[in-house]
């Protein structure tokens, strides 16, 4: 996400006009969301939006503080975070291993790729009845769903990334006497890394989506449990708090991938220019 920082540096005279205008425009980006919040608050206070439809922003903030202080939010967030992390770790590991096998050998491609394409046609969520029959409604089902969903994006991106590595670079590597293993290490894997990170980003966001869905299946802890409970008591303030937390999870995932990218892809011109 773009961080919006006021530009307070001393500008050289030639750039004065540009640096003078930039902060005002950037600050302007805050204007419409704040205005919306104010209108929402006003509408809630005047009774235009009833509490049971949508809680006022001030109430939401109060509830948020309350839930943090009581430990209710952190403990449930931790449960959800754990589910997402374990599912994601399993999904990524499986996806990366399968992509390496399919990407680096023709036999592997023949064996694995058709299965992955078949898997892709099955909507992950549609598997939940089967998983519930197998594993019940406990953690296993939720984690399996997340893992299952996270496999494909990382698989397809890494696999095609390996196949798309510039053949001219591979030729150059071979002309310098690199063995097959050295080619993989020095040419193919670094060349496929940008694709892997794209896959990672997709896997992260799909994992969060599936987390939300999986937590609607009879959870006894976690953000989904909080939301379901709040629904039963028509506590729209708690629902909004949980939505905010989901959004923060997504932001955090995005930040994580960006941090990895700026370290691992330091050689890219787009990052070099920054």
Partner 1 sequence: MDARRGFLLADTPGIAHRPAPTVRLRDFTRRFGANTVIDGLDLDIAPGEFIALLGRSGSGKTTLLRTLAGLDDARGQDVTVPAARAVVFQDARLMPWKKVWRNVTLGLRGRDTRARAERALDEVGLGHRLDAWPLTLSGGEAQRTALARALAREPQLLLLDEPFAALDALTRLRMHDLVLSLWRAHNPAILLVTHDVDEAIALADRVLVLDHGRIVGEERIDAPRGERDGIARELRESLLNWLGVRPGASNEGNGVVRLAAARP
Binding site for partner 1 (CB under 8 A): 168-169, 171-179, 182, 186-187, 190-191, 193, 265-269, 272
Find the shortest distance in angstroms from Cβ 266 to partner 1: 7
**Radius of gyration for the alpha carbons in the chain, expressed in angstroms and rounded:** 24
Find the shortest distance in angstroms from Cβ 268 to partner 1: 7
Distance between CA atoms of 44 and 71, rounded to whole angstroms? 28
- Whether the CB-CB separation of 100 and 157 falls below 8 Å is answered with no
Find the shortest distance in angstroms from Cβ 269 to partner 1: 5
- Quick one: 120 or 186, whose CB is closer to partner 1? 186
- Dihedral angle sign, alpha carbons of residues 61, 65, 71, 74: positive
- Which two tokens mark 152? 């494909």
Distance between CA atoms of 250 and 107, rounded to whole angstroms? 37
Find the shortest distance in angstroms from Cβ 184 to partner 1: 13
- Quick one: 9 or 177, whose CB is closer to partner 1? 177
Count Cβ atoms below 10 Å from residue 116 Cβ, excluding itself: 17
- Quick one: 75 or 179, whose CB is closer to partner 1? 179
Find the shortest distance in angstroms from Cβ 97 to partner 1: 22
- Dihedral angle sign, alpha carbons of residues 171, 174, 180, 182: negative
- Quick one: 150 or 183, whose CB is closer to partner 1? 183
Look up residue 214 and give its DSSP letter: H
- Quick one: 91 or 103, whose CB is closer to partner 1? 103
The torsion region of residue 218 among left (phi > 0), alpha (psi -120 to 50) and beta comes to: left
Find the shortest distance in angstroms from Cβ 164 to partner 1: 14
- Quick one: 233 or 267, whose CB is closer to partner 1? 267
């Amino acid at each position: 996400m773009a961080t919006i920082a006021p530009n307070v540096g001393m500008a050289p005279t030639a750039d004065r006009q540009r640096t003078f205008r930039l902060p005002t425009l950037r600050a302007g980006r805050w204007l419409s969301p704040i205005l919306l919040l104010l209108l929402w608050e006003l509408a809630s206070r005047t009774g235009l939006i009833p509490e049971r439809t949508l809680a006022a922003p001030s109430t939401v903030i109060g509830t948020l503080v309350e839930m943090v202080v009581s430990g209710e939010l952190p403990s449930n967030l931790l449960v959800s975070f754990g589910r997402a992390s374990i599912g994601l770790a399993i999904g990524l590991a499986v996806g990366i291993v399968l992509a390496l096998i399919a990407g680096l050998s023709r036999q592997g491609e023949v064996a694995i790729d058709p299965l992955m394409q078949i898997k892709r046609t099955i909507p992950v969520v549609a598997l939940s009845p089967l998983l519930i029959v197998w594993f019940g409604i406990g953690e296993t089902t939720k984690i399996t769903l997340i893992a299952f969903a996270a496999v494909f994006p990382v698989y397809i991106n890494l696999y095609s990334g390996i196949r798309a590595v510039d053949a001219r670079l591979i030729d150059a590597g071979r002309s310098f006497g690199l063995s097959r293993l050295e080619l993989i290490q020095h040419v193919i894997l670094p060349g496929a890394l940008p694709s892997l990170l794209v896959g990672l980003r997709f896997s992260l966001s799909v994992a969060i989506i599936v987390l939300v869905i999986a937590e609607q299946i009879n959870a006894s802890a976690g953000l989904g449990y909080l939301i379901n409970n709040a629904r039963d008591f028509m506590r729209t303030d708690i629902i909004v708090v949980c939505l905010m937390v989901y959004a923060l999870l997504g932001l955090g995932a995005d930040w994580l991938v960006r941090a990895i990218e700026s370290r691992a892809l330091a050689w890219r011109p787009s990052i070099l220019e920054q």
